[in-house]
Structure 1
Amino acid sequence: MKLARVAQPVSPSLGATDNLDDLENRSIWLIREAYARLKPLGMLWSIGKDSNVVLWLARKAFLGRVPFPVVQLDTGMELPEVYAFRDRIVQEWNLDLRIETCPPESEMDPTLPPATRAAARKTAGLQALLEREQLRGVLVGIRRDEQGTRAKERVFSPRSLGGNWDVTQQPAEFWDQYRTDFPVGAHVRVHPLLDWSELDVWRYTRREQIPIVPLYLAKNGKRYRSLGEKNVTFPVDSNASSIDEIIAELETTRIPERAGRSIDSETEDSFERLRQAGYM
Structure 2
Amino acid sequence: MTASPACQHQQDARINGIAKSESDSDSGVLTRGSLRRTLPDICFELQAKIDAFLSEQTDDAVLRNVQSQVRVSMDVIQQALRRYGPDHLSLSYNGGKDCLVLLILILGCLPGWASLPSPPPSDIAANDTSAPTTSEPPQASTPVASGRPLQAIYIVSKDPFAEVEEFVERSAQQYHLDLKRYALPMRPALEAYLEDRPAVKAVFLGTRRTDPHGEFLTHFDPTDEGWPQFMRVHPVIDWHYVEIWAFIRHLEIPFCELYNRGFTSLGGVTDTRPNPALAVSGDTSKFRPAYELRDDDEERLGRDSR
TM class by shorter-chain length?
A: 0.5 to 0.7
1:260 aligns with 2:302: yes
Query: What one-letter code is carried by the residue in structure 2 that aligns with 1:42?
Result: S
Cα distance in structure 1, aligned partners of 2:158 and 2:215: 29
Q: Which residue of 2 aligns with 1:122?
A: 186
CA distance in 2, matches of 1:75, 1:15: 35
Compute the TM-score of the two structures, normalised by the length of structure 2: 0.60
Q: Match for residue 224 of structure 1?
A: 263
Q: Alpha-carbon deviation of 1:198?
A: 0.6
Q: Which amino acid aligns with 2:303?
A: R
Q: In structure 2, what is the Cα distance between the partners aligned to 1:257 and 1:204?
A: 17
Q: Which letter does structure 2 place at the counterpart of 1:96?
A: D
SS of 1:69 mapped into structure 2: strand
1:46-195 matched pairs, under 5 angstroms: 46-63=94-111, 68-75=150-157, 77-102=159-184, 121-134=185-198, 135-147=200-212, 149-160=213-224, 162-163=226-227, 186-195=229-238
- Report the count of equivalent residues: 204
Residue 256 (structure 2) aligns with: 213
Contact kept? 1:156, 1:191, Cα under 8 Å = yes
Distance 2:190 2:211 in 1: 21
Return the alpha-carbon distance in structure 2 between the equivalents of residues 146 and 209 of structure 1: 25
Gaps of 5+ in 1: 1-12, 103-120, 165-185, 267-280
Report the CA distance shift for 1:208/1:101 in structure 2 as closer, same or farther (over 3 A): same
* Helix, strand or coil at the partner of 1:210: coil
TM-superposed deviation, 1:70: 1.4
Letter in 1 for 2:298: P
Looking at structure 2, the residues matched to 34 and 254 of structure 1 have their Cα atoms a distance apart, in angstroms, of 27
Q: Percent identity?
A: 27
Please identify the structure whose Cα radius of gyration is greater: 2
| 2-structure distance, mates of 1:122, 1:160 | 13
Q: Distance in 2 between matches of 1:122 and 1:98?
A: 13
2: CA distance between counterparts of 1:68 and 1:15?
A: 33
Partner amino acid for 1:81? E
Q: Deviation of residue 14 (structure 1)?
A: 8.8
1:233 matches 2:268:
no
Q: Which residue of 2 aligns with 1:177?
A: none
Name the structure 2 match of 1:24.
70
In the alignment, the residues of structure 2 paired with residue 146 and residue 137 of structure 1 have an alpha-carbon distance, to the nearest angstrom, of 20
Q: Please give the secondary structure, in 2, of the residue aligned with 1:70.
A: strand
**TM-score scaled by length of structure 1:** 0.65
After superposition, give the CA deviation of every residue in 1:62-107 in whole Å (9 maximum; x if it has no partner): 13968530111125621001111122212222222222232xxxxx
